[in-house]
Each structure stands twice: as structure tokens, then as C-alpha cells.
Amino acid sequence: MTTIRRFCCNDLLRFASVNLDHLTETFNMSFYMTYLARWPDYFHVAEGPGNKIMGYIMGKVEGQGESWHGHVTAVTVATEYRRQQLAKKLMNILEDISDQIDKAYFVDLFVRASNTPAIKMYDKLGYVIYRRVLRYYSGEEDGLDMRKALSRDVEKKSIIPLKRPVTPDELEYD
Amino acid sequence: MASKFGLAGGIPERRVRQIWDAVDSRQFKNALKLSAALLSKYPNSPYALALKALILERMGKSDEALAICLNAKELLYKNESMLMDDLTLSTLQIVFQRLDHLELGTSCYEYACSKFPNNLELMMGLFNCYVREYSFVKQQQTAIKMYKLVGEERFLLWAVCSIQLQVFCGNGGEKLLLLAEGLLKKHVASHSLHEPEALIVYISILEQQAKYGDALEILSGKLGSLLMIEVDKLRIQGRLLAQSGDFAAGANTYQKILELCPDDWECFLHYLGCLLEDDSSWSNGVNGDPVHPPKFVECTVSHLTDEVLNSRLSNASAFLLKFQVDANNCFLRGPYLAILEIERRRHLYGKSNYDDIMKALMQYFFKFGHLACFTSDVEMFLQVLTPDNKMEFLEKVMKGTNSLPTIPTKVLGLSITAFKIQQLIGNIDKVPVVEHEALAGQMVDMYWKSLPLSKGLDPQESMHGEELLSMTCSVLVQLYWRTRHLGYFLEAIMVLEFGLTIRRYVWQYKILLLHLYSHLGALSLAYEWYKSLDVKNILMETVSHHILPHMLLSPLWVDLSNLLKDYLRFMDDHFRESADLTFLAYRHRNYSKVIEFVQFKEQLQRSNQYLVARVESPILQLKQRADSIEEEEGVLESLNCGIHFVELSNEITSKTLTFNEDFQSRPWWTPVPGKNYLLGPFEGISYCPKENLTKEREENVRRVIERKSLLPRMIYLSIQSASVSLKENAEVNGSMSEPKISSELKFLLERYAKMLGSSLTDAIEVVMGVSTGLKSSEAFGSDTVDWLNFAVFLNAWNLNSHELSQGGDQCGHTWHNVDTLLDKHISEKARSMESLICFPGVEEVAKWIRDQIKRPEDEVVEIILSSLRKKGQGEGPGLVFRILESFMSSIDEVELGSRISQAVKSWSHVDVARKIVTGSSTVLSEFLRICESKIKSLQALKRQMAQV
């Protein structure tokens, strides 16, 4: 009982019960709207019975050459709808669009090094730790850059882990 | 910024780069120095001037910046030979926009475009200006020019979007859509289309004109291949077919989608809609409230025969059942709920099929009963059951819970579901209080026993059984409402505080606590919890209803001021930047987002909460400065003497307001702001409806804004009126002449009286009547404060006009009236706060508060704690509290793990009681501070008058 569709502005007025969760960041408006204006196919929402918002995913596609990739900026599910593999469904949508529509090489995401539950989940979804980014979160906590190769990256070159950690200023993209 | 630099107005790049770098790193002084050097070399360069203006604006020197910009503009217009580059124009545009002179930036571009009519870059700049101004017609004209110039698809689509905006957000008639269609058709014939978004716009133009057949033809033709995701295409197809009335083909299409996405609920509803030839599931989306969509599909009377209806529904069941069998779909709730919905429809169409509904419900329960969303999933299906059937379902659920020996977390989930169903349909308030209370006890107990399940979880993860404490709180507040024992209410607080000691991130507890503390008068504690929710950005629009209405009535002015400031800043920032984001959508060719962004901005601009905040913010400022007339006048001056607010008051009745608040998370006893069932007599839990309060609220909000937005102006006029009357025959320096003040004030008094349901004469009679004791203060109804305001303004008007005074003391008696009224009101209020109070007036209130605050803390703490202790075995609060306390002696570190054990050990009910006491006295102290400063200013006035 889940309708997954493109996220629209009015959903910003309906996602409070998802975003009140302390691990879900509520960004400023230009952030959401820039994503909507530029990558509407990468911003999806799951709606449940009674039109309740169950969760959503936002992301983008960017990069040059073999770095052309899909990126997961945020994925979150309301407490009430957890443990139903909804995050997996949302991730699959973003992966499919990166793979089939935009022909990207891989999908990546950043996660707090301390967020073990999330890391475990991404691991189950086939993501590997590509590199560690030192003090990525507000100059304090390290972030992990996790990646999953898509069909275009036949040899799975994009996910060979780096040997050393990098600093935020070495990152190619924000 | 590098991309910004060309050879702007003949200035080499390196010279301006330094300046931009300085601006970007906020070194404005340095930037200004560099700019001066640049200007000495290029004194007449509009670009160099624009840069200087930009720096000055950032430094807060708006007037200087504007003067320089105007100078630059003049030079730009004068110098015929100079190349008009986009860099100069866009820099000027930025500064003009920041100075709130959008139109000046636009006119520069207009001029440039007229000088260089074929410059695409300048035309794009001009288009952007019109986007910022929301000038849809000019947008359209500019886009068409660009399209004619280069023939690109995107410019045509810019024009088409601009046309749609005229129809949806402007005054454009629907026949404009025909024009858009014509433009597209012609372009398609010669160039086809290349972007999926362009196709979507084309189809929407046809759809908006109800040309479904044409749209379907295009979708199934060559252009249809632009949509690369099959399901997306099918969805559009299904919608068009259904709208065109071809339900059979529509049902086929939706069937195809369900094969691909068997969990898609919306698609299933459309499928059903097609089968039943009922198009309400499409019309809902068009006419309904997009922010609060209906919870379920209302069914219209079917024109189908019973036989057809039954056979179609049976076919649908058969089709959906196959998804239940497929093992790959083990997490899919859709196919199960779909069967329930089919049975619900059968029932609504008159078939008595309770057994089938029950069977489907139980099947869903056995499969998904352990999920946290089970109860809300089935809520709408339970509504069609009779009370007896509901009880039967509850019994089955209870039995089912016991007979399912599975993994512990699942058992817990099922038990929680059983509690929830019991709350939903169990008539719990009909059972004896002891049993009602026992239910709360069982919930807390279950919470405690399930804690070990969460032993290995990360502290950030939500724990198993967390909901139980919210549910316990709910039951305890029911008990409080039912018995009026404050102890139950305090127990509810203790339970949630306990939960937050175990894990401090549970926002559901925080919201409940916020409301409990507000109700208790400890608003500072409520505000603390609100702050811990970290409500920011768009959540301020949807979530602040929890605290804002309480704060507006409280003496916590500093906190309220921050709340209002943050909220208004967020909204105004968005209104400022929204057009730029719309232009971004244009640039990235996501045309459907263009319309969406503009509509969304309007949705926020018409927000009832935003308008309330805009009115309340200046009123708060006036309250905060009320002790000094000079400061008050300063505030009024910054508010343009309240003129804009009078305009708002005039407009409000004809404005459609939006209600964007998300009320889902509000507790049952206060489903919308301004409604609190606990203040009324106990009516039974089922009495508390959550819905259908919007209409009432809407009228209320409108009334509040209409009245309150007159206040700044009336205060301004009152001050003017009073100062004129004091100076009597002396020359008046004020900007307004005496008769003007009087007549405007009288006009506003008439309006104010009208809002209170009276004519001016009648209203005067009411006020006089109440103050002299001829009428009871009940004549004021629930608008006492508004009547008091009226009396104050009436007095101010009379000071000058003397229309109410006949002989004797010229204006003494209206002063006296106001005084008596205030006196009466305060003494009544104070008496209702504590029966012992018998001396009215500000000084007495202050004294009473001082006494309250002075009460020894320990004494009050003890009163709180004793209300929590159970007296004997009979009725009365204490059971839950006793269970909570018993946990302290039964901590098993091995079972709970050290983190949870430590958290439990740190729990102290005395600390919470103490917090409640200090929280309440913080509010009282703030109130006292206001009273004392009032007294001080009144005394100072008295002294001044004595000297005259």
C-alpha cells in the first residue's frame, strides 16, 4: 500500500512527521527547490493509506566522464513505516533512474561514520565503503563515501576502495 | 564567480575579480577601497558604479547605494555607443532588487533590449526580470520574441508556461490555452519535441481543455517515446482514459500498472474507480485541498446494476489475490488492503458483507498486525462496521495476539496493535475508572518489559515499544478529563519525562509534553521542549501551531519575539528567493515545476499563520515598548503609522486563506489550536472529533486578523488624539490636523464596533452600561479584550472630539469608564485565578503573583508529589506512578544493557516536580515584571500630572 511518485512542493507541507525525526535534516527552501528544479526525477515520495507521507528520497546526478553518477542526498522513512523495506524501494528507484535514464556509472552517498544502522542497511543494499572523508560533518565527524556500481561500469572500477582517507576539500563535488 | 567576468564595459577582468573576491569574503571595507581605485580610472563606467552600489548595499548603506545605482542607470541610458552587457545589467538588477526596486532593474533591461533587439542574452535577462515580477504576460511576449529569434523548443515552452501561469495564477481566461496549444501544434509539426517535460506540458495543455482524445493520440504516437519510464506513461494514459469516460480501457491500463507495481495504492484506487465507473478519485485531486487530501475515497451512487457491480468487484478481487500468493511480495500490504477496500465498496453499495470484511481484516492482521502502521491502515475500514462488529473485531485481535507465538518484537507489535484497536473502538471510558486506569498500568508495564529488546540498538534508533508511553499518556489524560483528578495529568507528564530520560530523541513525547505543560500554565517548559524539536525552515509553517497560539497569549515576550522573527524571516526570505528558483526551473527545462513553484509561493503567501504573525509581530513590539510614549511612537513610525495594517484588515475578508499546518501530531484533546476538550465537561472520548473544525477556525482567524490589524493605527490615532487634547489650544505640531484624527478614529471605531456586532451607538451604550453596572459584563460575550480595547479607543477619541461629554467634566467620565472596566475585568480574572483575591487593579495582581512566587518550592513540590501517591486501594491516581517507581528497584543491568540501565538510574520524579514549579514561576515572574514596569510608568505619569 505504497504509492511512490515524484515529490512536489506541497509535500514539503506534509512531511513534518517524517522530518521531526532528529536524524532527518530539514534543509532550507532553496535547497529543496533547487533539487526539484534541477533533478525532479531524483526526488520521490512514498505515500501510504489515508495519503500519509511514509518517507522520501532526494538526490541528483552529476560528474564528468567516468565520474558521472547518481547521488543520494537524503533518504528517510517515518517511524510508523519502518521495518518494511521502504528505504530499499526508494533507493532502487534512484538507482534505476541513474542506471537506465541517465546511464550513470555508479550511485554514491555520504553517511556519518558513527551511524552504524544506516551503514549496515546500505551494505545490505550492495553499497561498499569507497573512502573515508575526514571531518566531513561540520568539521567534526568523519563521513563515509559509499558506492554501488551500475551496469555501465562493467568492470566495477568505480567502487574499488581508496587506500587512504581524503579531506573535504579533495572532494570533487559538494 | 569566475564565470561572471567578461570585459565589462571595457574594464579588464583582473581589476574586478579582486573586488568580487572581497565581496564574497565579506571584506566590504577593502572592497570599497578597491572600488574607489577602479572608479578613479573609470569614473563613468556604469559597471564600476554598480559594483560600488553593491558593496554599499551589503554594508547597509541603502540610500547611498540607490543614488549610485540611479547614477549608473542614467549613464547607461545616456551613453549611446557603449555596449550594454549583461554583467553590468545583472549587477545593477541585483542591487535594485535588494533595495526593493525591482522595477528599476527591469527598466534597465527593457531599455537595453530596445537598443539591441536581437541580443538573446539580454532578452533572457529581461525574461528573468519578468519572472521576478510575476509579470506573466510580459514573460510570454519576451519568450515568444526569443523563440522567433532562434526557434528553440525551450523558449516556446517558456512562453507556454507563461500562458499557463496567466490562466492559473493570473487573470488570463482559459481561451489562452488554445493559443498555447496552437503554438505547440505548429512547432511539433515542423520540429517535433525533444524533451519529456515538453511533452508533459503539451499533454497538460490539452487535458486542461478536456481534449483527452487528442492527448491520448499524442501519447500513443511517436512523441510518447519521450517518456522513458513505462509506468509514468501508463499513469498518464490511465488518467486520460478515465477522464475521457473510457473506463474499460482505463481499467486495462491500471491493471497493467498494478502488474508492474502491485503495491501502488493510488493506482489501485483509480483501477477501482474505472471498474465502478466512478470518477471521484480524479476530481478529488483537482478540486480538493492539496495539503490535506481526503483520507479515503467517498463513493457516489453507482449507476451500474448489482449484477455488473458484483461481477466487476469479484474480477478485481481475483486479480489482486494473485499478488498475495506471490512470495516475492511478502512485504506488500497493498494487495491485502485492496481486498479490504473492495469489501468496503461492496458494503457502501448496500451489500451486507460483514463476514467478508471481518475475514479480510483478520487476514491483514495475521499478516501485518505487528506493524506500527496497522491501526492507521485499517482505520477507514473499521468505520463501516457496526459497534457490535467492532467489538467482535477487537475480541478477535485480542485472541489473535495471544495465539501467535513468534519472535518477541512481533509479539510486542501485536500487543501494541491490540491496545490501539482497544483505544480506537473499545468504549474504554464506559468501563469503571479502575479498569480504565489498569489499562494505562498495563501499557507502562509492557514498555518496561520490552526494554531489553532494545538493548543492542544504537541510541539514535527508535526503540521497540516506544509508542506505549504516548498511549499511556493518552489514557491518563482521558482519566484526568473523566475524573478531574490532577494527579492523572501529572502522571502523564511523569511517564513522558521518564521516556525521554531513557531516550531523549522521541519527538512524539516532546509534542505531548509541550501540550501538557501549556495546559498546566508552565509555558516556559513547553517552549523548552518545543525548542528541542529543532523546528526550522518549512517546518515552522507546519509545526509551530503547537506553540505559537499559546505564546501569543503569554508574558514570555522575548521568546515570542524570537519565534515570530524567525518565522517571518523564513517566509519573507522564501518569497524573495522563490522567483529565482522558478527561473532555475525554466533554465533546466523542468516546466511543470515552474507552475508548481509559483502556485506554492501563493499557497504560502496566503497562509493564515503568516498573516497572523505579520499582525502579531508589530502588536508585540507595541506591547514591549508600551511604557514609553516616545518609544511607542518610534515603533509606530517604523510601521508607517499602521496604515498598511488597516489595508490588510480591509482585504482579509475577501482573501482566500490557506491552512498549511500539519495537525496529525496533535494530541486528541486539542486537535486544532484554540480547541481544548479538557476545558469543557467530560463528554466521552469518542466525542472528540479531529476533523471538520477547519471551517470554524478559518472564520475565527479571519476575525482575529481583521480586528487586530486595526490596532496599530488606532493606537497611533489615540496617541495623536490625546496629545492634541493635552495641548488644548496650543499649536499642534503633529502631521495630522485635529479634525482628521477625530474623523478617522471615529471611522475605525465604527468598524471595530461592527466587528463586535454592534453599531457605534449601541457599542457605546454597552460599554457605558457595563462600566456603570447597568449591564453585566456578560454583554461582552467572549470578546472581553476587544471590548476593553474599544473602550480605550473610545476614550481617546472623546478626549479630542468631546462628542460623548455633555456638560460637567469634559472628558472625565470616559476616563472613569475605562478605569472601571479595566478594574472590573482584572478583578474578575483574578478572582477566577484564586478565590481569595478581592483587590483588583494592577498593583493587587502584582502582589498576588509575588505571593505565588514566594511560596516555598519544597511545599509546592510536595503538593505535586502527594497528588501522585495512591491513597488506599480504590479510585484515584497513583497506579502508573507506583509502577514507574517500582522500575527503579528492578533494574537488571545484564538484561537492559548498561546504557538503558544508566538512563533509568538517572530518573528522578522529584526533579520533574521541581521543574514544573520553577517552570510555572518563570511565567509568573515574567508577568510580574510586566506588571511592575506598568506600575512604574503609571506612577511616573501620576507624578508628572501632579506637577502640572
Are A3 and B264 within 8 A, CB to CB?
yes
Q: What is the mean pLDDT of residues B607-628?
A: 94
Higher pLDDT, B813 or A120: A120
- Predicted local distance difference test score (pLDDT) of residue B446: 96
Q: What is the mean pLDDT of residues B207-212?
A: 95
The 8 Å CB, 24+ separation contacts for B184-190 are B184/B156, B184/B160, B187/B153, B187/B156, B188/B223
- Predicted local distance difference test score (pLDDT) of residue B504: 94
Task: Kindly give the residue spans of alpha helices, DSSP state H, lying in B193-333.
Answer: 196-208, 212-220, 230-244, 247-260, 265-275, 280-287, 306-325
Are B537 and A83 within 8 A, CB to CB?
no
- Predicted local distance difference test score (pLDDT) of residue B356: 93
Nearest C-alpha neighbor of A145 from the set A97, A103, A113, A102: A113
The whole-angstrom distance between A150's CA and the closest CA on chain B is: 18
Nearest C-alpha neighbor of B128 from the set B163, B102, B152, B149: B102
Write out pLDDT tens, residues B389-426. Answer: 999 999 999 988 877 667 899 999 999 999 999 988 87
Point out the residue among B376, B466, B573 whose CB comes nearest to the CB of A50. Answer: B376
Q: What is the mean pLDDT of residues A15-35?
A: 95
Strand order through the sheet with A69-77: A3-6, A43-47, A53-62, A69-77, A106-112, A141-149, A128-137
| CA gap B39, B44 in Å, rounded | 8
Mutation choice for A interface testing from B375, B538, B578, B587 by most A CBs within 10 A: B538
Point out the residue among A2, A40, A50 whose CB comes nearest to the CB of B590. Answer: A40
Question: The whole model's pTM is what?
Answer: 0.93
- Predicted local distance difference test score (pLDDT) of residue B470: 97
- Predicted local distance difference test score (pLDDT) of residue B288: 67
- Predicted local distance difference test score (pLDDT) of residue B804: 77
Q: What is the mean pLDDT of residues B318-343?
A: 86
- Predicted local distance difference test score (pLDDT) of residue B732: 47
Q: Chain B residues with CB inside 8 Å of A19's CB?
A: 539
- Predicted local distance difference test score (pLDDT) of residue B837: 33
Nearest C-alpha neighbor of B900 from the set B483, B505, B452: B452
Note which residues in 19-78 of chain A have CB less than 8 A from chain B.
19-23, 26-30, 32-34, 36-38, 40, 47-52
Are B593 and A12 within 8 A, CB to CB?
no
- A116 in B contact zone (CB under 8 Å): yes
User: Exposed, middle or buried by CB within 10 Å (0-12, 13-18, 19+), for A120?
Assistant: exposed
3-class secondary-structure state, position B258:
helix
3-class secondary-structure state, position A77:
strand
Q: Chain B residues with CB inside 8 Å of A38's CB?
A: 584, 588, 590
Q: Chain A residues with CB inside 8 Å of B530's CB?
A: none
C-alpha torsion angle, residues B164, B170, B173, B175 (rounded to 10): -20
Neighbours of B675 (CB within 10 A): 17
In which band, very low, low, confident or very high, does the pLDDT at B216 lie, cut at 50, 70 and 90? very high
Contact B257, B267 (CB under 8 A): yes
- Predicted local distance difference test score (pLDDT) of residue B725: 72
Are B581 and A34 within 8 A, CB to CB?
yes
Can you give the residue ranges of every domain in chain B?
1-116, 136-228, 427-534+856-948, 535-709
User: Exposed, middle or buried by CB within 10 Å (0-12, 13-18, 19+), for B271?
Assistant: buried
Whole-angstrom CA distances from A39 to B197, B401, B462, B482, B654 are: 12, 46, 31, 53, 38
Are B376 and A80 within 8 A, CB to CB?
yes
Taking 60 as the threshold, does the pLDDT of residue B834 lie above it? no
Are B537 and A28 within 8 A, CB to CB?
yes
pLDDT above 70 covers a percentage of chain B that reads: 93
- Predicted local distance difference test score (pLDDT) of residue B5: 42
The grid cell for B233 is 506513461
Q: Chain A residues with CB inside 8 Å of B373's CB?
A: 48, 80-81
In which band, very low, low, confident or very high, does the pLDDT at B3 lie, cut at 50, 70 and 90? very low
Write out pLDDT tens, residues B632-658. Answer: 999 999 999 999 999 999 888 888 899
Q: Chain B residues with CB inside 8 Å of A82's CB?
A: 372, 462
- Predicted local distance difference test score (pLDDT) of residue B838: 37
ipTM: 0.96
pLDDT above 90 covers a percentage of chain B that reads: 64
Q: What is the mean pLDDT of residues B817-821?
A: 84
In which band, very low, low, confident or very high, does the pLDDT at B839 lie, cut at 50, 70 and 90? very low
Q: Which helix (H) or strand (E) holds A143?
A: strand A141-149
Check residue B906 and give left, alpha or beta (phi > 0: left; psi -120 to 50: alpha). alpha
Are B662 and A29 within 8 A, CB to CB?
no
- Predicted local distance difference test score (pLDDT) of residue B772: 85
Can you give the residue ranges of every domain in chain A?
3-170
Taking 90 as the threshold, does the pLDDT of residue A97 lie above it? yes
Q: Extract the runs of DSSP E, i.e. beta strands, from B593-695.
A: none
Q: What share of chain B is helix, strand, coil (3-state, %, to 5)?
A: 75, 0, 25
Higher pLDDT, B180 or B117: B180
Looking at every residue in chain B, the average pLDDT score rounds to 89
The whole-angstrom distance between A82's CA and the closest CA on chain B is: 8
Write out pLDDT tens, residues A128-152. Answer: 999 999 999 888 899 999 999 999 9
Taking 90 as the threshold, does the pLDDT of residue B12 lie above it? no
Q: Chain B residues with CB inside 8 Å of A101's CB?
A: 228-229
Pairing mode, if any, of strands A106-112 and A141-149?
A: antiparallel
- A156 in B contact zone (CB under 8 Å): no
Helical pair B176-191 and B196-208, crossing angle rounded to 10 deg: 140
- Predicted local distance difference test score (pLDDT) of residue B602: 95
Q: What is the mean pLDDT of residues B520-525?
A: 94
Point out the residue among A14, A29, A81 whose CB comes nearest to the CB of B373. Answer: A81
Write out pLDDT tens, residues A70-90. Answer: 999 999 999 999 888 999 999
Write out pLDDT tens, residues B723-756. Answer: 877 665 444 454 567 788 889 999 999 999 999 9
Are B539 and A50 within 8 A, CB to CB?
no
Write out pLDDT tens, residues B360-387. Answer: 999 999 999 999 999 999 998 998 899 8
Q: Domain A3-170 classified CATH 3.40.630.30?
A: yes
Q: What is the 3-state secondary structure (H, E, C) of B178-199?
A: HHHHHHHHHHHHHHCCCCHHHH
User: Exposed, middle or buried by CB within 10 Å (0-12, 13-18, 19+), for B26?
Assistant: exposed
Pairing mode, if any, of strands A141-149 and A43-47?
A: unpaired
- Predicted local distance difference test score (pLDDT) of residue B329: 63
Which stretch of B80-84, B106-110, B828-832 has the lowest confidence by average pLDDT? B80-84
Q: Extract the runs of DSSP E, i.e. beta strands, from B579-729.
A: none
Taking 70 as the threshold, does the pLDDT of residue B848 lie above it? yes
Mutation choice for A interface testing from B200, B373, B376, B605 by most A CBs within 10 A: B373
In which band, very low, low, confident or very high, does the pLDDT at B806 lie, cut at 50, 70 and 90? low
Which class would CATH give B1-116? mainly alpha
Q: What is the mean pLDDT of residues A147-173?
A: 93
Taking 60 as the threshold, does the pLDDT of residue B836 lie above it? no
Q: What share of chain A is helix, strand, coil (3-state, %, to 5)?
A: 35, 30, 35
Point out the residue among A48, A85, A115 whose CB comes nearest to the CB of B331. Answer: A85
